Chain A
Amino acid sequence: MAFFLGIDIGSGYSKAVVCEDQTLISHAVMPSGGDYRESARRVAETALSKINISMNQVVYTVAAGYGATMVNFADKTSTDISCHAKGVHHLFPDVRTVIDIGTQYSRAISLDNNGSVVNFIMNEKCAGGSGKFLQIIARILHMDVNDIGSLSLTATKPVEFTTACAVFAESEAVSRISEGALPADILAGLHNAMASKITTLITRIGLTPDFAVTGGGAKDIGLVKAIETELEKSVLTTDEPHITAALGAALLASESL
């Protein structure tokens, strides 16, 4: 039995997963902050200390993500796209289309039945489909970003937004609030605007079931439901969608010996 470590340093959050052989036994998620080296060390130590093992007991470490090269204790780096694919395939072997919503991007990845990446489309040019948009919405409503999903589901009259531009939608939301629209209806409207933007990506890559939503955006149940409505398909999520790529990295580590 051996321990393997997967690290995913995103622009918003750092994630670590510890696997014992191919089984996930611990994980940690924390904001990346300004110093990726330090965040990598801290997130790895947090995940390891939860199960009382030390860094020396880790056999192999793979790092992925935006700040992968900053993880100086990694044995290897890999792209977050392939780690993502690996993580998703491990959790849901039937998934062929992954929608990954990160802090500064959204992307669609198509997989074959071995879990290998066939193609991917990335939107990192526009905040409209990214987790950043969710943070902006939460801020103007004075809410925690983790609470907006469930409130959005209680909407009865979702507000219609004319654009999915995060900047324009923010001022539109502020106007609607001043006209008395309810926070739930605003949230549902914004989730719909985001979902339509994200669905465009998925449509471009091909609508092959099963679908899974991963990344921090998948923690927002309001957004996930809006994507399901827009796609007219059901989508899979996990309890900890943030750690999908870190899991893939840990699995890759276990295969690297």
Chain B
Amino acid sequence: MKKYFAGVDIGSTMTKVVIIGDSIEATIIGPTGPEHRKLANKVMEDALVKAHLAFEDLTYIVATGYGRINVPFADRQITEITCHAKGLHYLLPTVKTIVDIGGQDSKGIKIKDGRVNNFVMNDKCAAGTGRFLEVIADSLNVPLEKLGEISISAERAAEISSTCTVFAEHEVTNQLANGESVANLIAGVHMSVATRVSSLVKKLQIEKDIAITGGGAKNIGLVRALEEKFGCPVLVPPEPLITGALGAAIMGKEIYEKFSREGQTPTRSGRGLEEARFFS
């Protein structure tokens, strides 16, 4: 009988679920709200519907991401660094350096033989994270997902001298008042994030290929700015938000297979979706 495995990635901004069998069966992405537990259930239910499966069909479930302890039905929790590397290696096996730009952090991960070799992370300062883009998008009254598209039409990138999100927001407002175009400002903001992220990732010995994941990868302007900073093309997986959840599902499959080879089965959490809902 075919076995199915699920990975749940609860990020600060988005929650993702991936179900795999022999290949990817279903992926679901939804915003992370204040109630992680309820949300994890909801997103998992949606993914099961999409995959035409019941909860009982899942052999093993791994949770990852910043909210991973809030997935009661998960059998195991694994850090997002490990899962990210695993998921990306499956999708783009030639990649040796991952740049992940999330809603509230940014990371650099080095992969060697499909495993994490080293990593750097910034979650202490909003500069260089998705939050920086969110703040600027808000103050320019532009939807976050439009930033990339708009910046492509820029004549040049406006100079944003402040690193700090708070000060950069002021700078952008002032430059706008002085007649700078929205497109040039957004291009400048992308350059600022790219500068910050590349100086973080350069602490690792960068090796090609480089891939970008996380919400930041959906912004074509930011991807171009990073390519300029790194001086080489940057690969973007088809769905850059799900690498963590996909990696979690693959980890689950590998854990299960390792136990099977020894004639055992891994311990399950024993919690179902219904129960989880009861406790939430």
Residues on A lying within 8 angstroms of B by beta carbon are 104, 125-128, 132-133, 136, 162-168, 175, 178
Contacts and interface: CB of A to CB of B under 8 A. Distances in A.
Given A125-B163, A166-B164, 20 more contacts: A104-B167, A125-B164, A126-B164, A127-B164, A127-B167, A133-B166, A162-B124, A163-B123, A165-B124, A166-B165, A166-B166, A167-B131, A167-B135, A167-B165, A167-B166, A168-B124, A168-B125, A168-B126, A168-B131, A175-B34
A164 B166 CA distance: 13
A41 B123 CA distance: 44
24 contacts: A104-B167, A125-B162, A125-B164, A126-B163, A126-B164, A127-B165, A127-B167, A128-B164, A132-B167, A133-B166, A136-B166, A162-B124, A163-B124, A163-B125, A164-B124, A165-B125, A165-B126, A166-B166, A167-B126, A167-B131, A168-B124, A168-B126, A168-B131, A178-B34
B133 to A, nearest CB: 12
A136 to B, nearest CB: 7
Nearest to A132: B166
B104 A168 contact: yes
A125 B163 CA distance: 6
Nearest to B134: A167
A39 to B, nearest CB: 16
A165 B165 CA distance: 9
Contacts of B125: 126, 163, 165, 168
A163 B126 CA distance: 10
Contacts, number: 41
Nearest to A175: B34
Interface residues of B, number: 15
Nearest to B135: A167
Interface in B155-211: 162-167
Closest 7 CB pairs of A and B: A167-B126, A127-B166, A167-B165, A163-B124, A165-B125, A126-B164, A127-B164
A133 B166 CA distance: 9
A162 B164 CA distance: 17
Contacts of A165: 124-126, 165
Contacts of B104: 168
A132 B165 CA distance: 12
Nearest to A135: B166
A104 B131 CA distance: 20
A156 B164 CA distance: 32
Contacts of B124: 162-165, 168
B156 to A, nearest CB: 24
Interface string B122-138: 01111000011001000
Q: Among B126, B135, B162, B166, which residue has the most Cβ atoms of chain A within 10 A? A: B166
Contacts of A104: 167
B194 to A, nearest CB: 17
Contacts of B131: 167-168
Nearest to A125: B163
Nearest to B125: A165
Nearest to A123: B164
A163 B131 CA distance: 14
A133 B132 CA distance: 16
Nearest to A167: B126
A108 B169 CA distance: 26
A42 to B, nearest CB: 21
B275 to A, nearest CB: 25
